[in-house]
Amino acid sequence: MISTAPTLDVVDPADGTLLDRVPDAGAEGAAEAVAAAREAARGWARTAPAERAAALKRAAAALRERADELAELQSRENGRPLAESRGGVAAGIGTIEEYAHLGPLHGGRTLAGAWEAADFALREPRGVAVALVPWNDPVAIVGGPVGACLATGNALVVKPSERAPLAVRLACEIVAGHVPEGVLVALTGGPATGRALVEHPEVDVVLHTGSVSTGREVAAACGRRLVKAVLELGGKDPLIVDEDVDPEWAAGQAASGAFANCGQVCTSVERVYVHERVLEPFAAALARRAGELVPGHPIDARSTLGPLIDERQRAIVEEHVREATAAGAEVVHGGSRIDGAGFFHEPTVLVEARDDMRIMREETFGPVAAIRAVRSFDEALAAADAGEYGLAATVLTRSQRNAQRALRELRVGTVKINAVWGGAPGGSAEPRKSSGLGMGYGPALLDEVTAQKVVHMVPAP
Ligand code: NAD
Write the pLDDT tens digit of every residue in 34-69: 999 999 999 999 999 999 999 999 999 999 999 999
At residue 230 the predicted structure's pLDDT band, cuts being 50, 70 and 90, is: very high
Q: Are residues 139 and 205 in the same domain?
A: yes
**Which amino acid is present at 210?**
G
- Assess if residue 422 is contained within a domain: no
- Assess if residue 428 is contained within a domain: no
Q: Which of 266, 198, 190 is nearest to 234 (CA)?
A: 266
Confidence at residue 4, expressed as pLDDT on a 0 to 100 scale: 63
Q: Which of 247, 228, 190 is nearest to 397 (CA)?
A: 247
- Ligand 1 centre to CA of 216 (Å) is 11
Q: Are residues 440 and 302 in the same domain?
A: no
Confidence at residue 200, expressed as pLDDT on a 0 to 100 scale: 98
Give, using CA atoms, the residue closest to atom 14 of ligand 1.
191
- Ligand 1 centre to CA of 208 (Å) is 7
Give, using CA atoms, the residue closest to atom 30 of ligand 1.
210
Confidence at residue 244, expressed as pLDDT on a 0 to 100 scale: 98
- Ligand 1 centre to CA of 269 (Å) is 19
Separation of alpha carbons 42 and 71, rounded Å: 34
- Ligand 1 centre to CA of 233 (Å) is 7
- Assess if residue 426 is contained within a domain: no
Q: Are residues 213 and 243 in the same domain?
A: no
Atom of ligand 1 minimally distant from the CA of 197: 20
- Ligand 1 centre to CA of 213 (Å) is 9
All residues at 6 or more sequence positions from 2 whose CB lies less than 8 Å from its CB, including other chains = none
Instruction: Note the pLDDT tens digit of each residue in 418-448.
Output: 999 999 988 889 999 999 999 999 999 999 9
Q: Are residues 95 and 212 in the same domain?
A: yes
Atom of ligand 1 minimally distant from the CA of 309: 25
- Ligand 1 centre to CA of 231 (Å) is 10
- Please give the C-alpha separations between residue 30 and each of 24, 167, 175, 355, 414, in angstroms, as whole numbers: 10, 20, 20, 42, 34
Q: Which residues line ligand 1 (CB under 6 A)?
A: 132-137, 141, 159, 161-162, 190-191, 194-195, 198, 209-211, 214, 217-218, 232-235, 266, 363, 365, 391, 436
Q: Which of 355, 350, 369, 354 is nearest to 253 (CA)?
A: 369
Q: Are residues 359 and 395 in the same domain?
A: yes
Angle between helices 247-259 and 279-292 (to 10 degrees): 50
- Assess if residue 213 is contained within a domain: yes
- Assess if residue 124 is contained within a domain: yes
User: How many CA atoms are closer than 13 Å to the CA of 231, on its beta-carbon side?
Assistant: 28
Confidence at residue 427, expressed as pLDDT on a 0 to 100 scale: 86
Tell me the pTM: 0.97
- Assess if residue 43 is contained within a domain: yes
SS (HEC) of the chain: CCCCCCEEEEECCCCCCEEEEEECCHHHHHHHHHHHHHHHHHHHHHCCHHHHHHHHHHHHHHHHHCHHHHHHHHHHHHCCCHHHHHHHHHHHHHHHHHHHHHHHHCCCEECCCCCCCEEEEEEEECCEEEEECCCCCHHHHHHHHHHHHHHCCCEEEEECCCCCCHHHHHHHHHHHCCCCCCCEEECCCCHHHHHHHHHCCCCCEEEEECCHHHHHHHHHHHHHHCCEEEEECCCCEEEEECCCCCHHHHHHHHHHHHHHHHHCCCCCEEEEEEECCCHHHHHHHHHHHHHHCCECCCCCCCCCECCCCCHHHHHHHHHHHHHHHHCCCEEEECCCECCCCCCCECCEEEECCCCCCHHHHCCCCCCEEEEEEECCHHHHHHHHHCCCEECEEEEECCCHHHHHHHHHHCCCCEEEECCCCCCCCCCCCCCEECCEECCCCCCHHHHHCEEEEEEEECCCC
Q: What CATH number is attached to the domain comprising 55?
A: 3.40.605.10
Q: Are residues 119 and 243 in the same domain?
A: no
Confidence at residue 2, expressed as pLDDT on a 0 to 100 scale: 52
Q: How many domains does the chain have?
A: 2
Q: What CATH number is attached to the domain comprising 397?
A: 3.40.309.10
Give, using CA atoms, the residue closest to atom 15 of ligand 1.
191
Asked if pLDDT for residue 111 goes beyond 90, the answer is: yes
Separation of alpha carbons 270 and 258, rounded Å: 6
- Assess if residue 362 is contained within a domain: yes
Confidence at residue 425, expressed as pLDDT on a 0 to 100 scale: 86
Q: Are residues 216 and 275 in the same domain?
A: no
Atom of ligand 1 minimally distant from the CA of 435: 41
Region 136-155: mean pLDDT is 98
Atom of ligand 1 minimally distant from the CA of 235: 34
Give, using CA atoms, the residue closest to atom 39 of ligand 1.
232
Site to probe by mutation for ligand 1, drawn from 161, 207, 414 as the one with most ligand atoms within 8 Å of Cβ, is: 161
Say how many Å lie between the first and final Cα of the chain, rounded. Answer: 71
All residues at 6 or more sequence positions from 369 whose CB lies less than 8 Å from its CB, including other chains = 254, 255, 258, 259, 269, 270, 272, 286, 290, 348, 349, 350
Give, using CA atoms, the residue closest to atom 11 of ligand 1.
191
Q: Are residues 226 and 246 in the same domain?
A: no
Asked if pLDDT for residue 3 goes beyond 90, the answer is: no
Q: Are residues 412 and 443 in the same domain?
A: no
Q: Which of 142, 133, 208, 216 is nearest to 176 (CA)?
A: 142
Region 21-46: mean pLDDT is 98
Give, using CA atoms, the residue closest to atom 13 of ligand 1.
191
- Ligand 1 centre to CA of 230 (Å) is 12
Atom of ligand 1 minimally distant from the CA of 232: 41
- Ligand 1 centre to CA of 374 (Å) is 33
Provide the residue range defining the domain that includes 72: 7-233+435-457
Q: Are residues 251 and 199 in the same domain?
A: no
Q: Are residues 219 and 357 in the same domain?
A: no
Instruction: Note the pLDDT tens digit of each residue in 275-334.
Output: 999 999 999 999 999 999 999 999 999 999 999 999 999 999 999 999 999 999 999 999
Q: Are residues 199 and 173 in the same domain?
A: yes
- Assess if residue 2 is contained within a domain: no
